[in-house]
C-alpha cells in the first residue's frame, strides 16, 4: 500500500488540470453528435495552446484516496527549466513531518523515502510511474504537466481536431504507439484530458477547475485526477504560486542523507 500511495504522490507531478465529480472525459463516440471537424488552423491553435513558466515555486495540498485508504498530504516544489532541476517535498498532513522527496537533476531522478530509509535512482528517459505503484506513465508527460507545459504525448500524430456545433468548445484527439490522448478545450484552455494506454487500456482522467495566469505564463492550480477506474482519486490545490521568479532549487547535495539509507537503481 505504501508504494501505491507514493505512486499517487508522484502523480501529483502529473497535474495538468483539475475537475469536479466523476464525469468521464468526453470521447470520440460522444463527440460525434456535438462536434464537427475543425480546420487545420484551428488544430494548430489547439496544439500551440501553451505558455509554460521558466521557473516556479509552489506549496500544495493533496486530498486523495487509493482504494479504501484515504489520506492528506502537504508539500512544496521548486522548478527551473533552464537548469533542468526540480525538487518536491511531501509532508504528513497532521504532524508536518517529511515523508518523501523527489529530485530531478538533468536526466537523473531520485526518489527518497525518509521513513523507509530507501532511495531509488531512475532515469528520466526510461522512468515509468508504474514502477512506483501508479499507472503506467512516462516522465515526459509528468514533467510537462507539473511545469505548466501543455501536455502532449511524445511523437504524436493528430487523429482528429473537432469544433463544437454550439458554444466555444473544441477537442483534440492525438495518438502515438503507446497512448491515445483526448483533450477538451473551453475558451482556448484545456478543461479535461483523457489519457488511455493502448496496450493496457489504463486510463487517467484529468479535470481542469482553475488555471492561474501570471504575466505570459499559466499554471494549473486546482485539480482532480482519477485513474484505475476511480480506485485512485486526487484532489490537489496549489497555493503560494510564484512563476518566472529567481529560484534556488534544492538538489541532493543540499540534503543530509543518513548512512543507513539503502539505494536502488531502477
| pLDDT, tens only, 218-256 | 777 887 888 777 677 888 888 898 888 999 999 999 999
Task: Domain 2-265: give its CATH architecture.
Answer: Clam (2.50)
Tens of pLDDT, residue by residue over 165-200, are 666 778 888 898 888 988 888 777 778 888 888 888
Q: Give the three-state DSSP class for 41.
A: helix
Q: How far apart are CA 47 and CA 164, in angstroms?
A: 17
Tens of pLDDT, residue by residue over 101-116, are 989 999 999 989 888 8
Grid cell of 191 as nine digits:
478543461
Q: Does residue 213 or residue 230 have the better pLDDT?
A: 213
Q: Where residue 22 falls among pLDDT bands split at 50, 70, 90?
A: very low
The answer, yes or no, to whether residue 147 has pLDDT greater than 60, is: no
- Give the Cβ contact number of residue 69 at 10 Å: 11
Q: Return the closest-CA partner of residue 141 out of 172, 103, 179, 171.
A: 179
Instruction: Determine how β-strand 118-123 pairs with β-strand 262-265.
Output: parallel
The confidence score (pLDDT) of residue 149 equals 57
182, 17 Cβ separation under 8 angstroms: no
The answer, yes or no, to whether residue 21 has pLDDT greater than 50, is: no
Range scoring the smallest mean pLDDT among 31-35, 66-70, 173-177: 31-35
Domain ranges of the chain: 2-265
Q: Give the three-state DSSP class for 216.
A: coil
Q: How far apart are CA 238 and CA 222, in angstroms?
A: 6
Q: Does residue 217 or residue 256 have the better pLDDT?
A: 256
Most confident of 120-129, 186-195, 254-263: 254-263
Q: How far apart are CA 200 and CA 21, in angstroms?
A: 25
Amino acid at each position: 500500500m505504501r508504494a501505491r500511495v507514493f505512486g499517487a504522490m508522484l502523480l501529483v507531478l502529473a497535474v495538468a488540470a483539475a475537475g469536479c465529480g466523476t464525469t468521464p472525459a468526453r470521447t470520440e463516440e460522444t463527440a460525434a453528435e456535438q462536434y464537427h471537424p475543425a480546420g487545420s488552423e484551428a488544430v494548430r491553435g489547439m496544439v500551440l495552446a501553451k505558455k509554460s513558466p521558466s521557473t516556479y515555486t509552489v506549496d500544495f495540498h493533496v486530498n486523495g484516496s487509493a482504494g479504501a485508504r484515504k489520506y492528506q498530504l502537504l508539500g512544496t516544489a521548486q522548478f527551473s527549466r533552464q537548469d533542468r532541476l526540480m525538487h518536491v517535498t511531501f509532508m504528513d498532513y497532521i504532524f508536518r513531518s517529511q515523508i518523501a522527496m523527489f529530485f530531478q537533476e538533468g536526466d537523473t531522478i531520485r526518489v527518497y523515502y525518509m521513513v523507509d530509509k530507501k532511495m531509488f535512482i531512475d532515469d528520466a528517459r526510461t522512468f515509468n510511474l508504474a514502477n512506483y505503484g501508479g499507472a503506467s506513465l512516462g516522465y515526459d508527460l509528468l514533467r510537462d504537466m507539473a511545469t505548466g507545459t501543455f501536455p502532449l504525448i511524445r511523437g504524436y500524430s493528430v487523429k482528429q481536431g473537432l469544433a463544437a456545433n454550439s458554444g466555444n468548445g473544441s477537442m483534440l484527439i492525438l495518438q502515438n504507439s503507446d497512448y491515445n490522448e483526448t483533450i477538451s478545450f473551453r475558451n482556448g484552455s484545456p478543461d479535461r484530458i483523457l489519457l488511455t494506454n493502448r496496450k493496457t487500456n489504463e486510463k487517467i482522467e484529468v479535470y481542469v477547475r482553475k488555471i492561474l495566469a501570471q504575466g505570459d505564463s499559466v499554471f494549473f492550480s486546482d485539480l482532480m485526477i482519477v485513474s484505475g477506474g476511480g480506485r485512485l482519486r486526487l484532489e490537489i490545490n496549489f497555493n503560494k504560486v510564484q512563476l518566472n521568479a529567481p529560484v534556488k532549487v534544492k538538489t541532493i547535495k543540499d540534503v543530509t542523507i543518513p548512512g543507513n539509507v539503502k539505494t536502488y537503481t531502477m
